[in-house]
Amino acid sequence: MRVKYLFVSAAVALASLTACQSNSGGSDAEMDKFIDNLMGEMTLHEKIGQLNLPVTGEIVTGQAKSSDVAEKIKKGEVGGLFNLKGVEKIREVQRVAVEESRLKIPLIFGMDVIHGYETVFPIPLALSCSWDMAAIEKSAQIAAKEASADGICWTFSPMVDICRDARWGRMSEGSGEDPFLGSAIAKAMVKGYQGDNLQDSTTIMACVKHFALYGAPEAGRDYNTVDMSRIAMYNYYFSPYKAAVEAGVGSAMSSFNVVDGIPATANKWLMTDVLRNQWGFDGFVVTDYTAISEMIDHGMGDLQQVSALALKAGIDMDMVADGFIGTLEKSLQEGKITEEDIDKACRRILEAKYKLGLFENPYKYCNVDRPKNDIFTAENRAAARDIAAETFVLLKNEGNLLPLQRKGRIALIGPLADTKANMPGTWSVAAVSERYKSLYEGMKDAVGDKGEVLYAKGCNLCYDATLEANATMFGREMRDPRSPQQLTAEALGVAQRADVIVFAGGESSEFSGESSSRSNIDLPDAQLDLLKALKKTGKPIVMLNFAGRSTVMNWENDNLPAILQVWFGGSEAADAICDVLFGDKVPSGKLTTSFPKAVGQLPLYYNYLNTGRPAGKWFSKYRSNYLDVDNEPLYPFGYGLSYTTFTYGDLTLSSDVMEPSATITATVKVTNTGNYDAAEVVQLYIRDMVGSISRPVKELKGFERIFLKKGESRDVTFEINADLLKFYNSSLEYVCEPGEFRVMVGCDSKNVQTKTFTLKE
Ligand code: BGC
């Protein structure tokens, strides 16, 4: 008998299952039969209980907390719990569910494992800048292994919301502005978390979020209104969610915003017509945190009404709102919903538990011996350090100031230089930052006795203490009580004694992430003033820009010789930054979000429509431009320098005509012409010159990350077929239209070579 749970759940009438039948890993028919039997035993109240997801109160990520959770579990009123950390605690709660509730149905335990567990990987925006799908998949796989060792079987990741507006703080949690790259990453993440088989106790169920369009709030303000055409939804914003579904993601999370005027959580078109009927999603849908009760403020009715709307729309699980558990019975009595609606949702939750193998063994993820072997291991940390180095983007390196040599005196200055808590970045709820190195510690280790590292904080994050307090929550405080004058004086003293200054500044961890929108995305005032003072010393300055979004860096670009964008690199950030600073590794990251010259350019993205009055280089009356800034980003999508140089040979196309059923290839020879072995990300963009709807000036349609030793060359080839040329037309049909296409290949979205071909009828 493999089904241990069958013994303990005597109350469940499973007579029709023979002893040798497994209740997981079996066929769909076996699963259906198992669930039919189980549901046959369930009261209405117990069925609704499965749809209830309270929070434990340990790690709170929203406005409300749940109460009396243990009592509710005993009464069969809870389907799962989230953000409870520690395998022993989870085991105990699971014990209550499978020993003290009537039907002994196991709970599902979720957590926001967004970019790693205790081994923290770089924030997702950073990860996307590696363009390294294998490494990203591995990061999710390691996260799953660590989380599952600690009792977690479900993660609220990947977050795949496309974002074109850096004011939105949650840009940090996604993969930037591009749907093609975002889709590839969505697939890699789902594969990494779920593996090929959820039966394995080292894999966990993924949850694609936030469905949908959460990354496009008006004015970049979190939770704000989204108003978007279906053309834009289908062509740009939907792709990564759909890709996650195609990769077999087990669950999805509804978003807080409205879609077509209806909150996503009550939007039947979105949750049922698109997600299930058009895309074939067969997992379950959980709401975001209190998204059901928030619909009262959206003006959709009282708790009973909005709960019924959510269930009818296709939501299966209610996160924290107590809307389902509190009102669905009444709605059923009043005929506002049917028992079938409840059954459908309950079945999907039970299916997820079945697929995870929890009926077979509710303690499958509760092996108390696993944490010490599987969490924060040297191997996992080495992987995190490696990928972190791939995510840094070298924005400027005048006179090859970088890499630095390990010699002389290095002045490490800035508010991010000596703060362990701000290394992992936002949404690192399982992080144990006391175990991580601050950059100062990492740099002392990296330099050893070959040189001297001097340190001064130099300034606070910003002058405004309230703003700083809001941007350094969750134990990430770093305010220094000294006055700006005292801090500057100390920094200048340190700088004077040094050969080179490394400035570690930018944003704190919580300056981006949820509820961290900014209306001004410049380097905060105190830091800019400090940099200006440091510049006057005449010493060369390397800026390490920590940030969870693209920021405005005009002064920095004009005045500093070297800038390395380091995002938030995770638990191993300090060592990884030093690997790149001192040239043990060569930077290869490429931006996945355009860096604006002014916040007023937002939303800013490379795949824009040309308009009828495209801008020229300079301001021109009656063109689509600004009086006070041009339309160009400071650093474009796809951009990133290296310590070496790459030379691109001529782009060739295998043919300048293409039959719809055929393929053509675009080839370019790339040569490493510099002095370091290094990786390069070669990018393919395509423009559809004439369409039945206006088409973007270019769209990413391929990329390859290659590694070339110095002097080495390689032909990089992209295959172009009709599928790659398809888009959703105004009837939302996915088509490609014959005519001329422009193929562009290069090292970023601006620096490309161009060839054209014609797609035949
Ligand atoms: C966030 C989600 C997160 C959830 C649970 C919400 O506030 O929007 O991304 O998964 O909380 O912590």
pLDDT digits (tens, 9 = 90+) for 95-119: 999 999 999 999 999 999 999 999 9
Establish whether residue 112 lines the binding site of ligand 1, counting it when its CB lies within 6 angstroms of any ligand atom.
Answer: yes
Residues 686 and 744 sit within 8 Å (Cβ to Cβ): yes
How far is residue 707's CA from residue 714's CA, in Å, rounded to a whole number? 9
Measure 533 CA to ligand 1 centroid, in angstroms.
41
The amino acid at residue 268 is K
Block residue for tokens 């409300």: 64
Measure 204 CA to ligand 1 centroid, in angstroms.
18
Spell out the domains of the chain, with CATH numbers in brackets. Answer: 1-109 (no CATH), 110-371 (3.20.20.300), 378-601 (3.40.50.1700), 646-759 (2.60.40.10)
The amino acid at residue 32 is D
Tokens of 106: 């196991």
Residues 312 and 285 sit within 8 Å (Cβ to Cβ): no
Establish whether residue 61 lines the binding site of ligand 1, counting it when its CB lies within 6 angstroms of any ligand atom.
Answer: yes
Tokens of 112: 């926001």
Pick from 642, 757, 661: nearest CA to 707: 642
The catalytic position among 150, 161, 288, 579 is 288
Measure 343 CA to ligand 1 centroid, in angstroms.
26
pLDDT tens profile 55-72: 876 666 666 667 789 899
The SS3 call for residue 120 is strand
How far is residue 432's CA from residue 148's CA, in Å, rounded to a whole number? 17
Rounded (10°) angle between helices 179-194 and 239-246: 30
pLDDT at 64: 65
Establish whether residue 572 lines the binding site of ligand 1, counting it when its CB lies within 6 angstroms of any ligand atom.
Answer: no
Give the contacts of 345 (CB within 8 A, at least 6 positions apart).
Answer: 50, 51, 284, 311, 315, 316, 317
Query: Is residue 288 annotated as part of the catalytic site, yes or no?
Result: yes
Measure 605 CA to ligand 1 centroid, in angstroms.
26
> Whose Cα sits closest to atom 4 in ligand 1?
289
pLDDT at 15: 39
Establish whether residue 161 lines the binding site of ligand 1, counting it when its CB lies within 6 angstroms of any ligand atom.
Answer: no
Question: Which atom number of ligand 1 is nearest to the Cα of residue 214?
Answer: 8
- Which of the residues in the chain have pLDDT under 70? 1-26, 57-65
Give the contacts of 387 (CB within 8 A, at least 6 positions apart).
Answer: 121, 122, 127, 130, 132, 135, 136, 138, 139
Question: Which atom number of ligand 1 is nearest to the Cα of residue 62?
Answer: 7
Establish whether residue 575 lines the binding site of ligand 1, counting it when its CB lies within 6 angstroms of any ligand atom.
Answer: no
How far is residue 631's CA from residue 601's CA, in Å, rounded to a whole number? 7
> Whose Cα sits closest to atom 2 in ligand 1?
288
- Sheet with 80-82: strands ordered across: 80-82, 108-111, 154-155
Sign, CA dihedral 454-459-465-469, equals: negative
Establish whether residue 156 lines the binding site of ligand 1, counting it when its CB lies within 6 angstroms of any ligand atom.
Answer: yes
Block residue for tokens 């006070």: 628
Block residue for tokens 């929070």: 55
Which of 289, 317, 320, 427 gets mutated to test ligand 1 (max ligand atoms within 8 A of its CB)?
A: 289
Pick from 716, 624, 628: nearest CA to 672: 716
DSSP strands (E only) in 163-283: 207-211, 251-254, 258-259, 262-263
pLDDT at 56: 79
The SS3 call for residue 727 is strand
